[in-house]
A = this chain, B = another copy of it.
Amino acid sequence: MHHGYYNGTIQPVDQIGVGVFDLGLLRGYGLFDYFRTYNGRPFQWDWYWTRFQNSAMRMHLRLPLTKDQTYKIVMDLIGRSDFDDAAIRFVLTGGYSPDSISIVKPSLLIMTEDIHPVTPVQYEQGIRVILDDYVREMAEVKSTDYKHVILLAEAIRGARAQDVLYHKNGEISELSRSNFFIIKGQRLITPNRHILHGITRRTVMQLAQDDFEVEERPVLLSELYDADEAFTTSTTKRVLPIVEIGDLTIGEGKPGPKSKYLLERFDELVDSW
């Protein structure tokens, strides 16, 4: 059973009701963040909080709680969950609006959720993604705007793919809800713009520093053709190999040794978190 904090009150999540005049609902005006615990402790809490704060600032939403207050609530909610580890979702919206357009007082929801891990077979075989000519508006803000990928759901299923890789004007940005990396020799390359700056991405870049030359820069679609390996990173995906992108097979068409190596480094880090 999961609980949630909503504007000052903690309740079981299925009892929380968001008012119909909330700008998150009426105008898509909201942002969120999502992280998880390892060994019961929120992973990279400082980084997540900073990102959440930045998103709120960019969307002109005042945070109703301080970092310490929020951390206490997060730990309270984790304590109430029946699981060893849980995911935590923050949702900050424009809140109740008297005229359905002006912001008066943002609404904050914090809740725990089940972790939906990626299946082991996906790590063993790698995933397939389709390509789509698109870039998210304000990609660097973790807004709730995911219309585009939901509209693409049928195309993804139809291609027996698991996700989509966005590109625009020949430049790659990110997957629908995770970051993108390629490996060429000892170079680890990841786009630096039109992306949400993932915390797992940042963690992996840090872990890779000793063994790779890490390049954070614009990445062209054409660079996929001679990539040895590709993978995606996110809270739930960790380091997940990508073996097909559109019609293109990456490397040998199966997860490569360097992606596996980075996944192992990541798993070592979280095991001792």
CA distance A144 to B23 in the complex (A): 9
Number of copies: 2
A151 — which chain B residues lie within 8 A by C-beta? 59-60
Q: Is A215 part of the contact surface with B, judged by Cβ < 8 Å?
A: no
Task: Flag if A149 contacts B19 (CB, 8 Å).
Answer: no
CA distance A26 to B94 in the complex (A): 13
Q: Is A270 part of the contact surface with B, judged by Cβ < 8 Å?
A: no
Interface segment among A71-79, A97-105, A195-203, A257-265: the answer is A97-105
- Which of B21, B22, B150 meets A29, CB within 8 Å? B150
Contact A148 B143, CB 8 Å, known A19-B17, A20-B109: no
Task: Flag if B25 contacts A93 (CB, 8 Å).
Answer: yes
Task: Flag if A25 contacts B27 (CB, 8 Å).
Answer: no
Task: Flag if A103 contacts B150 (CB, 8 Å).
Answer: yes
Q: Is A153 part of the contact surface with B, judged by Cβ < 8 Å?
A: yes
Contact A148 B137, CB 8 Å, known A20-B4, A91-B25: yes
Q: Is A271 part of the contact surface with B, judged by Cβ < 8 Å?
A: no
Q: Which of A130-148 contact B (CB under 8 A)?
A: 137-138, 143-148
What per-residue 1/0 map shows which CB atoms of A2-14 lie under 8 Å from chain B? Answer: 0010100000011
Task: Flag if B111 contacts A20 (CB, 8 Å).
Answer: yes
A21 — which chain B residues lie within 8 A by C-beta? 13
The residue among A18, A28, A60, A101 with the most chain B CB atoms within 10 A of its own CB is A28
CA distance A16 to B22 in the complex (A): 12
CA distance A31 to B30 in the complex (A): 15
Closest B residue, CB atoms, query A13 = B20
Min CB gap A3→B, angstroms = 11
CA distance A26 to B32 in the complex (A): 8
CA distance A224 to B30 in the complex (A): 35
9 residue pairs, one from A and one from B, having the closest CB atoms = A17-B17, A28-B28, A27-B146, A28-B144, A18-B18, A28-B145, A24-B25, A16-B20, A29-B150
Q: Which residues of A contact B (CB under 8 A)?
A: 4, 6, 13-14, 16-30, 32, 59-60, 91, 93-94, 99-103, 109, 111, 113, 116, 137-138, 143-151, 153-154, 177
Q: Would you give 23 A-B contacts (Cβ < 8 Å), ordered by A?
A: A4-B20, A6-B20, A13-B20, A13-B21, A14-B19, A17-B17, A17-B19, A18-B19, A18-B20, A20-B91, A20-B109, A23-B150, A25-B25, A25-B144, A26-B32, A26-B144, A27-B145, A27-B147, A28-B145, A28-B146, A28-B147, A99-B116, A137-B147
